[in-house]
Amino acid sequence: MTDIAAKKTLTKKDFASDQEVRWCPGCGDYAILNAVQKFMADSGADPAKTVFVSGIGCSSRFPYYMNTYGFHTIHGRAPAVATGVKVANPELDVWIVTGDGDSLSIGGNHLAHILRRNLDVNILMFNNEIYGLTKGQYSPTSPVGTKKKSTPMGSIDRPFEPAQFALGAQATFVARTIDQDVKHMSEVLHKAKAHRGTSFIEILQNCVIFNKDFYSSNVDRAVRPDRTINLVEGEPMVYGKERDKGLRFDGFEVKRCSADEADVWNPGTKSGAPAFLIAGMREDPEMPIPIGVMRSVAAPNYEIGVNAQVDDAVAKKGKGDLKDLVYAGEMWTVE
Amino acid sequence: MNPKSAQDPQAGELPLQQLDRVVLRFAGDSGDGMQVTGNQFTRTSAIFGNDLATLPDFPAEIRAPAGTRPGVSGFQLQFSSSDIHTPGDAPDVLVAMNPAALMVNVKSLKKGGVVVVNSDAFREIDLKKAKCDTNPLEDGTLEGFRVIEVAINTRVNEALSDSPLSNKDKQRCKNFYTLGLMYWVYSRPLEPTLEWLEEKFKGKPDLISANQTALKAGYNAGDIRELFQGQYEVPKAELPPATYRNIMGNDALAIGLVAGAKLAELPGVFCSYPITPASGVLEALANYKHHGILTVQSEDEIAAICSAIGASFAGSLGMTGTSGPGMALKGEAMGLAISTELPLVIVDVQRAGPSTGMPTKVEQSDLLSSIYGRNGDAPMPVIAISRPSDAFELAIDACRIAVEFMTPVILLSDNFIANGAEPWALPNLDDLKPFPVKFTQEKGDDFLSFGRNENHARPWVKPGTPGMEFRIGGLEKAPTSNISYDPDNHQAMTDLRHAKVRKVADTIPTPEVEGADSGELLVVGWGSTVGILKQAIDTCREEGLSVSRLHLTHVWPLPHGLDEIFSKFDRILVPEMNVEQMTILLRGELPNHDYVPYNKVTGQPFLIAEVIERVKTVLAETKKA
């Protein structure tokens, strides 16, 4: 009781560290930091049991600004470090903060494997479609033709669709939200926290210096209702300022339709195919950008399994005594 | 083989000769079961009470084409009635299952040695696979050796005529026939292997029976006097009083890591990616879960060390294991552990490099990269195991240093130690000194996340502890753990990290000199050369040469007292399986001595004879000069 009471008294401020926040003025990261600090207070998080782990990049400075335990690791490796933290102490509430370059370029392998293992952690992937900390090179989520300092004639390689990457790695929870929409972000964070498994949340995030307003044509207030669709479990896939547009599945395609023809969204289908199709809509400029929860299914958690094997071994063999390990095999004694 | 005495009435008409030591090498296709044969001979000899040392030598390819030279797998062991330290330079006896095995191994055989060949495997097609233009049994290749031809395929088929097994399966019993033959020659008991077969093929009575029959048939065939001129006995060794077991380096190392975590009173988390020849450590530890060790097979080398670091951050003792290429990949993360000052044990089972190199061959060429090979000034203690029987205590010491100094530690092993076996005098566990970790639970008035104790170590705070929340990372930090780009702070932190690692030297023993404490030459070795160097230098001293020996286990920081020891010798000979790495280290650290590098990088260990030769040459040069 006292525990719960104590938690309830915490406010957003209690989750802010004493460090001065040093992102560029106007950076989308501020909004995310504010939303996450508020969410922590609202969700009754215990700062002592919360760990933020990050890689390298602008977003990865995040843990320094949270008054929780924090580990700013090395480029791309936050999922691997977080795996060690969670395996060693499954009681900890582990959050990974990463960016598009950190998670999908240098750290692509670790991202794939943490999703496959489904540790009960949450990944906040800030996607600004650019390398910010190294001052503006194209990233693995930048569209083809992105002209930046390292690609003066335009980038050639096709970008990753982060949600499809995650789904391909058998992610059990995939969602997308937007830095500007604090309310929506908060809803997604609550769902992610409730999910028992790796939650992958892509947050579209503005880089005001190197990729300013790259997402404006989709997420600015005026166009957002028509250019995005918020997926809500059990509700028809409807969007538009007038809520008159809808989406329906037609074989292996998602098609636009009128609101009353829209299919009901289910992120928990046995197959990940509907989520994969929905995530792929971004390739088509005619289609809205999906936000909300694209996938949510249950699967075993690695950290539980790995610790259960230890418990099983102890149950079967008894708590190991070093003597039995050293004095084993065929021994002989010389007098 | 030095016959000591003759004639034993027990052996019938054949003379039973006593030998002090024998070096035996089994060689065949990698599918011929030579490792099993060698291991069985080793096990039986250990149970019998011989001192022994083994050297498996197998190809990197699991199954190279049958009958070819790259597919040859070998297993050498020396067993002895006296104290030995190496698997021996040159085999006294070579058992070759086919022409390829013969050709690959015959050049290392001792002059006048015995070659036992499977004469059924020297058909034209076999010779062709082995790239022999002429038959080595006939063309003079084996001149000077005593050759014993046994038609093993035929004998095995005869022995198993009643077995329901297919011909192909019958032929797979060849190695046990061969083993039986060697058991007879060296008067070994059959029982341990007969029992082992029962266990190994439990529920497959046909296989048990066939292999046991083959083993006995081989043993009985030894009675055929035309084959062998005598039977030999290698009496029990007079090892120092203790309880012994036979152990391989990787296994001893794994047990040492378990012990280290227990002595630190921490759960151990071992994260590793499979790599030859280090996978054995992961595999061993995966069976020790009930000892409080959790194992994670990671997606790659970088993930392995990063997860181990994460586990240490969370309050366990993180550990990882790999070999050279993996060390290269782990470099950046090692720097993170150094910068965040988290305990971590990194096992490097060295193999021949660079790049992929020769994964199943031995080398000591990761020394300098272990000490210096990271970005920035990134010091870290480095310990080198020298033999399977000291892997246990050095693994414990690596854990101790890691937690007492809040630092990653590299524990070097190599392929020779990892897969070699020898008797291990089991330690009295009550003598092990615990080093329990005390996590910091409360902030005192002057608490700093990067404050220092007498070891210059920072406090270890475990996430989950209320009121102690802090952030760490690879960016330079102030003592508060907050990011700092302050020039004076970076200087101070760099100096502190160095001073901390240097301070480890206060807790490690000064190595003892074997032999006179002054003289013309001191041989300084490290790592797996220990047995060879001991035997070589002992021999030199018996011949009256002025040479002593010292072996380093803690290679960074170097132990105190070396300068004084070295100053009493005219020259220091530094043999190692790399290009002058220890010599470079010693020249930098202790410049006032005359070092003579002695390097071998063939993927094979030094031979005792060549070390003796080199010592004599160096002594002669010194005299001339």
What is the DSSP code string of B323-378?
-HHHHHHHHHHHHHHHHHT--EEEEEEE-B-STT-BTTS---TTHHHHHH-SSSS-
Beta bridge partners of A230: A291
Q: At what angle do helices B301-313 and A78-88 cross, to 10 degrees?
A: 50
Beta bridge partners of A123: A96, A200
Interface probe, candidates A50, A52, A87, chain B, greatest B C-beta count within 10 A: A87
Kindly report the CATH number assigned to the domain that includes residue A152: 3.40.50.970
Cα nearest neighbour of B468 on chain A: A48
- Residues A179, A126 share a domain: yes
User: Residue A321 is which amino acid?
Assistant: D
Which of B47, B269, B333 minimises the CB distance to A330? B47
A-B C-beta contacts closer than 8 Å: 215
Judge whether B95 and B24 are in contact, CB under 8 Å: yes
Strand order across the beta sheet in which A289-296 lies: A228-231, A289-296, A173-178, A199-204, A122-127, A93-99, A50-54, A69-72, B471-473
Cα nearest neighbour of B472 on chain A: A71
Which are the contacts of B121, defined by CB distance < 8 A and separation ≥ 6? Answer: B67, B97, B98, B99, B152, B153
Q: At what angle do helices B301-313 and A108-117 cross, to 10 degrees?
A: 60
Architecture, CATH, for domain B519-624: 3-Layer(aba) Sandwich (3.40)
Spatial CA neighbour of B197 closest among B211, B217, B213? B211
Interface probe, candidates A10, A33, A65, A72, chain B, greatest B C-beta count within 10 A: A72
| Strands A253-258 and A245-250, bridge-based pairing | antiparallel
Q: A 49-88 residues with CB below 8 A of B?
A: 49, 51, 53, 63-64, 66-74, 77, 79-88
Spatial CA neighbour of A128 closest among A163, A161, A99? A99
What is the token pair recorded at B559?
Answer: 């132990």
Cα nearest neighbour of A109 on chain B: B299
- With a cut of 50, list the residues of chain B below it in pLDDT: 1-12
- Residues A327, A240 share a domain: no
**Cβ atoms < 10 Å from Cβ of B83:** 13
Which of B289, B300, B472 minimises the CB distance to A309? B289
**What is the Cα Rg of chain A in Å?**
22
Give CA separation, B579 vs B33, B328, B368, B576, in Å.
Answer: 35, 18, 10, 8
CB contact under 8 A, B469 and A306: no
Distance (Å, whole) CA A151 – CA A129: 14
Side-chain half-sphere exposure of A144, counting CA atoms within 13 A: 4
Which are the contacts of A207, defined by CB distance < 8 A and separation ≥ 6? Answer: A27, A28, A58, A128, A129, A130, A132, A214
Spatial CA neighbour of B219 closest among B87, B41, B6? B41
- Residues A96, A10 share a domain: yes
- Residues A38, A149 share a domain: yes
Phi, psi of A130 (to 5 degrees): -160, 155
Which of A71, A80, A87 minimises the CB distance to B302? A80
Phi-psi region of B486 (alpha: psi -120 to 50; beta: other; left: phi over 0): beta
Judge whether B88 and B76 are in contact, CB under 8 Å: yes
Sort out which chain A residues have CB atoms less than 8 A from B475's CB and list them.
72
Task: Identify whether B241 is preceded by a cis peptide bond (ω within 30 of 0).
Answer: no
Residue B576: strand, helix, or coil: strand
Cα nearest neighbour of B48 on chain A: A332
**pLDDT number for residue B8:** 38
- Residues A12, A116 share a domain: yes
Sort out which chain B residues have CB atoms less than 8 A from A313's CB and list them.
289-290
What is the token pair recorded at A200?
Answer: 């992958």
Sort out which chain B residues have CB atoms less than 8 A from A66's CB and list them.
471
CA distance B333 to chain A (A): 7
Judge whether B115 and B150 are in contact, CB under 8 Å: no
CB contact under 8 A, A330 and B470: no
Q: Could you tell me if A300 lies within 8 Å of chain B, comparing CB atoms?
A: no
CA distance B570 to chain A (A): 41
Judge whether B212 and B219 are in contact, CB under 8 Å: no
Which of A46, A72, A320 minimises the CB distance to B474? A72
Judge whether A104 and A157 are in contact, CB under 8 Å: no
Distance (Å, whole) CA B454 – CA B445: 18
CA distance B466 to chain A (A): 5
Tell me the mean pLDDT in the region A96-117. 98
**Cβ atoms < 10 Å from Cβ of B99:** 26
**pLDDT tens per residue, range A262-316:** 999 999 999 999 999 999 998 899 999 999 999 999 999 999 999 999 999 999 9
Distance (Å, whole) CA B488 – CA B554: 32
Cα nearest neighbour of A115 on chain B: B299
Give CA separation, B379 vs B68, B347, B451, B452, B562, in Å.
Answer: 46, 16, 19, 17, 20
**pLDDT tens per residue, range A205-259:** 999 999 999 999 999 999 999 999 999 999 999 999 999 999 999 999 999 999 9
**Superfamily in which the B9-233 domain is placed by CATH:** Pyruvate-ferredoxin oxidoreductase, PFOR, domain III (3.40.920.10)
Sort out which chain A residues have CB atoms less than 8 A from B272's CB and list them.
none
Q: Which residue has the tokens 């000892």?
A: B291
Residue B110: strand, helix, or coil: coil
What are the boundaries of each domain within chain B? 9-233, 245-431, 519-624
Sort out which chain B residues have CB atoms less than 8 A from A319's CB and list them.
290, 292
**pLDDT number for residue A8:** 55
- Residues A256, A179 share a domain: no
**pLDDT tens per residue, range A144-176:** 999 999 999 999 999 999 999 999 999 999 999
Alpha helices in A262-321 (DSSP H): 273-279, 302-317
CB contact under 8 A, B471 and A64: yes
Q: Which fold has domain B245-431?
A: Rossmann fold (3.40.50)
Which are the contacts of A85, defined by CB distance < 8 A and separation ≥ 6? Answer: A51, A53, A71, A92, A94, B310, B311, B313, B314, B463
CB contact under 8 A, B306 and A73: yes
**pLDDT number for residue B222:** 82
Q: A 166-185 residues with CB below 8 A of B?
A: none
Q: At what angle do helices B174-185 and B191-200 cross, to 10 degrees?
A: 160
Residue B302: strand, helix, or coil: helix
Spatial CA neighbour of B56 closest among B530, B357, B352, B421? B421
Domains B245-431 and B519-624 share a fold: yes
Spatial CA neighbour of B347 closest among B374, B318, B323? B323
What is the token pair recorded at B64?
Answer: 């190279």
CB contact under 8 A, A87 and B294: yes
Alpha helices in B437-578 (DSSP H): 487-503, 530-542, 562-566
- Residues A335, A236 share a domain: no
- Residues A207, A221 share a domain: no
Q: What is the DSSP letter of B278?
A: T
CB contact under 8 A, A81 and B239: no
What is the token pair recorded at B545?
Answer: 């040469």
Judge whether A78 and A86 are in contact, CB under 8 Å: no
Residue positions counted in chain B: 625
Cα nearest neighbour of B252 on chain A: A326
**pLDDT number for residue B232:** 81
**pLDDT number for residue A5:** 47
Number of domains in chain A: 2
User: Residue A139 is which amino acid?
Assistant: S
CA distance B131 to chain A (A): 42
Cα nearest neighbour of A116 on chain B: B299
Q: Which domain holds residue A255?
A: 215-293
- Residues A45, A1 share a domain: yes
CB contact under 8 A, A325 and B336: no
Which of B241, B246, B465 minimises the CB distance to A334? B241
Q: Could you tell me if A222 lies within 8 Å of chain B, comparing CB atoms?
A: no
**pLDDT tens per residue, range B546-562:** 999 999 999 999 999 99
Distance (Å, whole) CA B572 – CA B583: 9
Cα nearest neighbour of A107 on chain B: B303
Spatial CA neighbour of B402 closest among B488, B334, B472? B334
- Residues A262, A124 share a domain: no
Sort out which chain B residues have CB atoms less than 8 A from A113's CB and list them.
298-299, 303
Interface probe, candidates A89, A119, A333, chain B, greatest B C-beta count within 10 A: A89
Alpha helices in chain A (DSSP H): 2-8, 28-42, 78-88, 100-101, 108-117, 162-168, 182-194, 216-219, 224-227, 273-279, 302-317, 322-326
**Cβ atoms < 10 Å from Cβ of B478:** 17
Spatial CA neighbour of B406 closest among B317, B281, B310, B277? B317
Interface probe, candidates A46, A66, A74, A113, chain B, greatest B C-beta count within 10 A: A74
CB contact under 8 A, B473 and A64: yes
CB contact under 8 A, B473 and A322: no
Distance (Å, whole) CA B367 – CA B229: 48
- Residues A310, A261 share a domain: no
Which of B192, B269, B464 minimises the CB distance to A49? B464
Phi, psi of B21 (to 5 degrees): -155, 150
Sort out which chain A residues have CB atoms less than 8 A from B271's CB and list them.
84
Spatial CA neighbour of B599 closest among B587, B616, B613, B582? B582
CB contact under 8 A, B315 and A84: no
CB contact under 8 A, B469 and A84: no
Which of A74, A80, A326 minimises the CB distance to B298? A80
Task: Note the pTM of the prediction, 2 decimals.
Answer: 0.91
Cα nearest neighbour of B266 on chain A: A88
- Residues A324, A284 share a domain: no
**pLDDT number for residue B226:** 61
Phi, psi of B215 (to 5 degrees): -60, -50
**pLDDT number for residue A251:** 95
Sign of CA dihedral A197, A202, A203, A206: positive
Cα nearest neighbour of B287 on chain A: A313
CB contact under 8 A, B242 and A333: yes
